[in-house]
Amino acid sequence: MRTPLLEIQNLNKAFGGLKVTRDVSLSLRAGERIGLIGPNGAGKSTLVNLVTGLLPPSSGTVRLLGVDVTRAGQAERVRRGLVRTFQVTQLAPTLTVRSQVELAIHEREGTVRNMWRPASRFPVHAEEARAILAQLQMLEIADERPIDLAYGQQRLVEIAIAMALRPRVLLLDEPMAGVPSGERQVVLNALATLPPTLGLLMIEHDMDLIFSFAHRILVLAEGAVLADGPPAEIRRHAAVQQAYLGTEAAR
């Protein structure tokens, strides 16, 4: 079998006495779409933070393409192809969309220090940024600034920046958070254009999106894996219904 792109083994994290990640194991293969769900405070964002190196785990290992990166910094993980977006937007509000994508390409290529050279000196980067924006159907907003964009479009900018880092694994922390229903389709369309070989893990509270998008769903409750399986199985899972879906449906 192919080496998983991402392999998490027996990951644990405690904040003081509070255990927020309990023995979580997971593997993600090329082309796989995994949905990570669970009630508020279940430890979803913490798990992503452990995987990306924003937080050190208390124990356990994280492997990227077979390489142990448990103690690697965030930048090294990005270079190895692990890229994430945040639950709360982290965009520069007043830089144009195009510039932000170009900047991410410069970051990837290590040419940031030279970015004050005229843009014409980097036609390859400019063309690559244009291609990313075209693929995500964002050319119309390429010269806008995030503060002038609708929230759904801002989420797209984050995805474009993430794609500029050439991920093998992309972690999306609630791409629909704060997106009004009228703008959701824009985000859905963009997600549908992502390369099929990408390994994708998405945290999302929108069950319709998760169940239509994911090949596999991992359910966290109180930091531990409650269930891990294909959507149809998760839907029937009694403990999941009780811990999560039941409460959602009851809302």
Ligand X SMILES: Nc1ncnc2c1ncn2[C@@H]1O[C@H](COP(=O)(O)OP(=O)(O)OP(=O)(O)O)[C@@H](O)[C@H]1O
**Residues at the site binding ligand X, with contacts judged by CB under 6 A:** 15, 18, 20, 38, 40-46, 87
SS3 34: strand
42 binds, among Mg ion, ligand X, none (CB under 5 to 8 A by kind): ligand X
40 binds, among Mg ion, ligand X, none (CB under 5 to 8 A by kind): ligand X
Length of the chain: 251
16-75 residues in contact with Mg ion (CB under 5 A) are 44-45
The nearest distance, CB 46 to ligand X, in angstroms, is: 3
The nearest distance, CB 49 to ligand X, in angstroms, is: 7
70 binds, among Mg ion, ligand X, none (CB under 5 to 8 A by kind): none
Burial of 159 (0-12, 13-18, 19+ CB in 10 A): buried
The nearest distance, CB 87 to Mg ion, in angstroms, is: 5
The nearest distance, CB 79 to ligand X, in angstroms, is: 25
75-114 residues in contact with Mg ion (CB under 5 A) are none
15 binds, among ligand X, Mg ion, none (CB under 5 to 8 A by kind): ligand X
102: amino acid identity, one letter: E
Question: What b/e sequence results for 6-27 when a residue is b if at least 16 CB atoms lie within 10 Å of its CB, and e otherwise?
Answer: bbbbebbbeeeeebbbbebebe
Pairing of strands 59-64, 224-229: unpaired
Is residue 10 within 8 A of residue 33, CB to CB? The reply is: no
Binding-site ranges for Mg ion (CB under 5 A): 44-45
